[in-house]
Amino acid sequence: MYICVCKAITEEKAKVALKSGRSINEIMKKLGIGTDCGTCIGHAIECLKCPGPSGSANSHTPSKNNCSNKK
Ligand code: FES
């Protein structure tokens, strides 16, 4: 699932990058997440904070890992 449509960044790609030990902010900056329209920033941060399963393009399941758009 895409967490940043403008930069075509999937949750999987971002979580793989997160395994490098960098912070969420560093990963977002490196991948360009939120650097275009910016509408994805809050959701992307929530998704990257979620401990959900990684390695799956469909790992973002809001009802299971509590990283939904519950605003
Ligand atoms: S969707 Fe991420 S910058 Fe637009």
Over the chain (71 residues), the average pLDDT of each successive run of 10 is: 96 93 95 97 94 50 45 41
Distance 18 CA to ligand 1 centre (A): 18
Q: Which atom of ligand 1 is nearest to the CA of 44?
A: 2
CB 55, CB 11: distance < 8 Å: no
Task: Specify the pLDDT at position 35.
Answer: 97
Ligand 1 pocket: which of 6, 27, 46 to mutate (most atoms <8 Å of CB)? 6
Torsion on CA atoms 12, 18, 24, 29, rounded to nearest 10: -80
pTM of the model as a whole: 0.73
Q: What domains does the chain contain, in order, with CATH numbers?
A: 2-65 (1.10.10.1100)
Query: What are the two backbone dihedrals, phi and then psi, of residue 56, each rounded to the nearest 5 degrees?
Result: -125, 135
Q: Is the CB of 6 under 6 A from ligand 1?
A: yes
Q: Which atom of ligand 1 is nearest to the CA of 5?
A: 1
